Structure 1
Amino acid sequence: MSIPISAVLGNAELQGKCPVRDVLDHLAAKWTTLILVALGERPLRFGELHRALPDISKRMLTQSLRDLERDGLITRHVFPTKPPSVEYRLSGLGRSMLVPLGALIDWAAQVHPAILQARQAYDAQAA
């Protein structure tokens, strides 16, 4: 990390508008990571995305896509067909997120058994 986290979080000018918090609030949303990973493979239409993420409601998928488009992480292309069809793809900014996101996914997969074990130990002790 090039900037110490304490310098970012401790800066009084950034209180309430911390860039780290602002970005991570969106990236940590429930569906954001899965949508970015799905679009990292190839551009997808709404229906394809919904089939790739069957547990997300159409309403939540729509809102998540709007949020990602607003943040500049994806682009939306409307085809002049009847009925209109829409394709979503990662923007350059969205593609730049795939490397750190991939590292986080790899880390999560690696430590998941230890986290499950820690939860079981905690729950057994708390019971």
Structure 2
Amino acid sequence: MRKEASTNARNEADILRNCGMAYTLSVIGGRWKPTILFTLLNNGRMRYNELRRSINGISERMLVAQLRELEEDGLVKRIIYPEVPPRVEYELTPAGISTEPMLMCMSDWGNHQRIQKERLVDTSREISVS
């Protein structure tokens, strides 16, 4: 449990209120949220099990938690069909769709940086072998 009146909590609230980048990272940051958003961007509306199967390594508990947070933040819409057995689908809201250019830029930047880092590691191995 977190103390709402703590200095740390007040500092976090101030940063989120005054810094767009910090707020953005608080909404879409983490290991799984960008992957969930990107999967829904690429596939459109998906049933829960389709979404779970399409994201390797995510646990059911984590997927549910991340979907709830994305729904609370207005990026994902949960659609429940009154059927037996129940059917639940997820799709991006207009705010969720608007993340596409940002996610693509982040992906491009990450791919570029990863390649650069791999080249540095390969170069350092060649130097240490020589």
Name the TM-score class by shorter chain.
0.7 to 0.9
Equivalent residue number for residue 71 of structure 2: 69
Equivalent residue number for residue 21 of structure 1: 22
Q: How does 1:2-81 map to 2 (within 5 A)?
A: 14-15=14-15, 17=17, 18-41=19-42, 42-81=44-83
Note if contact 2:16-2:23 (Cα within 8 Å) is conserved in structure 1.
no
Aligned length in residues = 112
Give the AA of the match of 2:29.
A
Quote the RMSD (CA, aligned, Å): 2.4
Percent identity of paired positions between Structure 1 and Structure 2: 32
Give the AA of the match of 1:36.
L
Q: Given the alignment, which residue of 86, 95, 108 partners 2:97?
A: 95
Q: TM-score, normalising length from structure 1? A: 0.77
Residues 43, 111 of structure 1: alpha-carbon distance in 2 compared, 3 angstrom cutoff: same
Equivalent residue number for residue 117 of structure 2: 115
Residues 33, 16 of structure 1: alpha-carbon distance in 2 compared, 3 angstrom cutoff: closer
Residues 30, 119 of structure 1: alpha-carbon distance in 2 compared, 3 angstrom cutoff: farther
3-state secondary structure, aligned to 1:111:
helix
Q: TM-score, normalising length from structure 2? A: 0.75
Larger Rg: 2
* Superimposed CA distance per residue, residues 30-73 of structure 1 (whole angstroms, 9 cap, x where no aligned partner): 10010001000211111011100120000000000000000000
Unpaired runs of at least 5, structure 1 = 1-12
Structure-1 separation of matches of 2:16 and 2:52: 34
Structure-2 separation of matches of 1:33 and 1:67: 12
Residues 46, 16 of structure 1: alpha-carbon distance in 2 compared, 3 angstrom cutoff: closer
